[in-house]
């Protein structure tokens, strides 16, 4: 016990000494004996930017066609693969042509028969004047022969029209794509009987165009009215007279890589949703955009203006207050509340609270207390080679 008391006394005397040493170390680390803390800074530069509004959008083909037969028969051949790109006029299905070939042969015979009757009627009519002069026929017989000629001519025209129809039907046994685009799968395959009767035609497949593509979005009425005002003030281009550029981002894109333009706004605001439909056009020569998929569409939401931008990672939050750490006039760390705007190219627009001449602290933000002396360092330079901007070197006396 007599050895324990001196030990406790030494420990009690040692505690204040430890506290003083710790306080001295903390003061040196926060700009005490060792001087101001070196911090990296940047000076924000105003940029000319324009706001963008983002909306959910849907991509659709400019043309979408259902492929149906015009004649009835059995499918002989399917000539495409599912999802294939096809050209206008390319054959997709072939229908058994034998029935149509037989119908064409009948039509050819009818034309030949009508032409023979016409030739006979023409010969009879050519002799009418001679026979009338010789009083060999009556005027009634002459009129009959002339009428027979007219009837024969009409019969030839009718037979030729029927033949043209038979030619078309034979041509329609080859079902062709009416547009350039991407074909779906074959809904009917070889050997199936398909109908070409109007109102009861069989759906064979569909073809959608690929380039360009339409993109639809619903714009809220407040945004649309703002656009209309900017157009009236000549701060935005009128889409009815010039192309207004817009941008698109699809799943997997890291940026707004697809560029297009506004084609039109709808003619009314939907009272149920309070929005108006906008349609944009996007070139798609590489076929990346797919009909029916969803994307993000952004439209210019303002005219150009000067703005100060700052990286989001340098912005602090204290409850509902956003702030930046800046170098004060006294070369100390100052908490500067700021008002933020939209995001632009990964950075935030600072609406107020930051001046172009301010130096924003971008390093040691987690350990730098407000009011601590700091030494601003330009990024990319060594700390030892950068003199303090707040403490110029002394001149020799």
pLDDT for the residue 161: 96
Out of 160-164, 249-253, 291-295, least confident range? 249-253
- The pLDDT tens digits of the residues spanning 215-257 come to 999 999 888 888 888 888 887 888 878 888 899 999 888 888 8
Over the stretch 211-223, which tens digit does the pLDDT of each residue have?
A: 999 999 999 988 8
Top-confidence residue, 240 or 350: 350
Peptide bond into 212 cis (omega under 30): yes
Residue 12: the pLDDT is 36
pLDDT of 19 over the 60 cut: no
CATH architecture, domain 52-62+213-305: Beta Barrel (2.40)
Looking at residue 383, its pLDDT comes to 42
Q: How far is residue 55's CA from residue 221's CA, in Å, rounded to a whole number?
A: 13
User: Would you say 208 and 63 are in contact if contact means Cβ atoms under 8 Å apart?
Assistant: yes
Burial of 141 (0-12, 13-18, 19+ CB in 10 A): middle
CB atoms within 10 A of CB 107: 21
- Res. 380: pLDDT tops 60: no
Residue-level pLDDT at 34: 62
CA atoms within 13 A on the CB side of 10: 5
Dihedral (C-alpha) 66, 68, 70, 71: value to the nearest 10 degrees?
180
The pLDDT of residue 55: 93
The topology (CATH level 3) of 34-47+306-377 is 2.40.420
Greatest mean pLDDT range, 118-122, 170-174, 229-233: 170-174
More reliable by pLDDT, 393 or 55 = 55
Domain boundaries, the chain: 34-47+306-377, 52-62+213-305, 98-171
Task: Say whether pLDDT at 345 is over 70.
Answer: yes
Average pLDDT over every residue of 48-71: 91
CA 58 to chain CA centroid, Å, is 8
Q: How far apart are CA 193 and CA 196, in angstroms?
A: 10
% of the chain exceeding 90 in pLDDT: 41
Query: What pLDDT score was predicted for residue 2?
Result: 41
Residue the block writes with tokens 């070369």: 331
Question: Which H or E run includes 335?
Answer: strand 333-337
- CATH placement of domain 98-171: 1.10.287.470
Phi, psi of 308 (to 5 degrees): -100, 130
Measured distance CA(33)–CA(23) in Å, rounded:
11
Read off the pTM: 0.64
Domains 52-62+213-305 and 98-171 in one fold: no
Tokens representing residue 35 in the block: 């001087």
pLDDT at 197: 92
Q: What is the mean pLDDT of residues 186-214?
A: 94
Q: Residue 16 above 80 pLDDT?
A: no
pLDDT of 1 reads 38
**pLDDT, position 115:** 92
Mean pLDDT of the chain: 83
pLDDT of residue 183: 94
pLDDT at residue 142 is higher than 70: yes
Query: Is 145's pLDDT higher than 60?
Result: yes
């Amino acid at each position: 016990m007599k050895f324990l008391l001196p030990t406790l006394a030494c420990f009690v005397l040692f505690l204040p000494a430890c506290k003083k040493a710790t306080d001295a170390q903390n003061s040196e680390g926060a700009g005490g004996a060792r001087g101001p803390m070196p911090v990296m800074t940047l000076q924000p530069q105003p940029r000319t930017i324009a706001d963008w509004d983002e909306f959910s959008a849907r991509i659709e083909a400019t043309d979408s066609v259902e492929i149906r037969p015009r004649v009835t028969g059995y499918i002989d051949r399917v000539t495409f693969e599912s999802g294939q790109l096809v050209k206008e006029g390319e054959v997709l299905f072939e229908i058994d042509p034998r029935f149509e070939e037989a119908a064409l042969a009948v039509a050819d015979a009818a034309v030949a028969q009508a032409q023979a009757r016409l030739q006979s009627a023409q010969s009879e009519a050519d002799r009418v004047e001679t026979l009338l002069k010789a009083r060999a026929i009556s005027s009634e017989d002459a009129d009959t022969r002339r009428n027979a000629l007219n009837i024969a001519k009409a019969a030839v025209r009718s037979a030729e029209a029927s033949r043209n129809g038979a030619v078309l039907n034979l041509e329609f046994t080859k079902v062709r794509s009416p547009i350039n685009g991407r074909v779906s799968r074959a809904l009917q395959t070889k050997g199936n009987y398909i109908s070409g009767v109007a109102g009861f035609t069989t759906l064979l497949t569909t073809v959608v165009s690929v380039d360009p593509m339409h993109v639809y979005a619903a714009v809220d009425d407040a945004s649309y009215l703002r656009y209309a005002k900017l157009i009236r003030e000549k701060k935005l281009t009128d889409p009815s007279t010039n192309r207004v550029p817009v941008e698109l981002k699809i799943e997997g894109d890291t940026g707004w890589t697809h560029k297009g333009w506004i084609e039109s706004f709808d003619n009314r605001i939907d009272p149920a949703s309070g929005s108006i439909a906008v349609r944009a056009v996007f070139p798609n020569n590489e076929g990346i955009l797919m009909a029916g998929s969803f994307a993000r569409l952004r439209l210019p939401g303002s005219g150009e203006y000067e703005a100060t931008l700052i990286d989001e990672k340098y912005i602090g939050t204290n409850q509902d207050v956003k702030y930046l750490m800046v170098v004060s006039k006294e070369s100390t760390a100052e908490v500067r509340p700021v008002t933020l705007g939209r995001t632009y190219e990964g950075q935030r627009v600072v609406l107020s609270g930051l001046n172009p001449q301010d130096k924003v602290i971008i390093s040691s933000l987690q350990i730098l207390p407000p009011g601590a002396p700091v030494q601003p360092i330009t990024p990319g330079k060594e700390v030892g080679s950068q003199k303090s901007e707040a403490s110029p070197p002394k001149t020799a006396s």
